[in-house]
Chains A and B, each alone.
Chain A
């Protein structure tokens, strides 16, 4: 970051701005102003709705759009059946929604719309959003676990065949590891998205400062940085997909722990 007029702050892209001001948006003391984060969540939902709606024509020989939607639904169904078994089918709506929402959110945040003036906002790069998604997944795990097994659910923390003296220690360790799961889910997605965007912003600051410093610096510093940005964008698209997949996969694994108590 240069101490010159064009100082690029890589963290500025994550600021949440109330789009219509935050003066009159209050319910019971809570501020519910419509922020840029909320707007992008709305855009993601609309795009996801259009995508799924386009695949609902129920053609016997599916066209390309329906094939794409069926690929995603089949993928989520296979993943749930492989990880949970037959009982996994009832979670397909939730895990499909979760996976597609996170995937579309991550990818929409990478769109190069800045050229036309609309700067996308990756709302999954905030721990509040990913924390709520992880909390929803984890509460499904807890509710299913306790509804289906009652207090027998705690046998999840004592693996079969543990020697008696070790049971207290193993129970505590497994309990802590279980309690950390929602945090790790939320943290993984949040840090992956934030780190990717910070990296892109820092590289773009190299391009800007290099070009501002003259033509020779622009070619020496700006051009390699720009080429690196293109490569990192490709990596970010891959990471967007992988992080959405990992979130859904780990959710299905945790639900398997609740359903089947290994």
Chain B
């Protein structure tokens, strides 16, 4: 397999990381919604932490996108 093809296959495999980011972000929002329905009064105060959690989960998944971009355009 030549280098160019291997790079593109690697970049395609990085999409698995994007799928895991989807699981992570869904986890964050799902937990928030579940507990917000149990205790609605406390939900509004925790919205800031919800978005911090979302940003952290999303960033780590977007690192997979960065790896794909590096493979396609840089390496």
Contact = CB atoms under 8 A, between A and B. Distances in A.
B68 to A, nearest CB: 10
Contact of A191 (B48, B52, B66, B73): B66
A11 B54 CA distance: 27
A242 B62 contact: no
A250 interface: yes
Interface in A213-262: 242-243, 245-246, 249-250, 253
A188 B55 contact: yes
A83 B45 CA distance: 12
Chain B contact residues: over half helix, strand or loop, or mixed?
Answer: helix
A250 B65 contact: no
B51 A192 contact: no
A246 B51 contact: yes
A249 B54 CA distance: 12
B8 interface: no
Nearest to B55: A246
A240 to B, nearest CB: 14
Contact of A82 (B48, B51, B58): B48
A187 B59 CA distance: 8
A249 B53 CA distance: 12
Nearest to A11: B73
A191 B51 contact: no
13 contacts: A11-B73, A187-B66, A188-B59, A188-B62, A191-B62, A191-B65, A195-B62, A246-B51, A246-B52, A246-B54, A246-B55, A250-B52, A250-B55
Interface of B: 48, 51-52, 54-55, 58-59, 62-63, 65-66, 73
Interface of A: 11, 79, 82-83, 184, 187-188, 191-192, 195, 242-243, 245-246, 249-250, 253
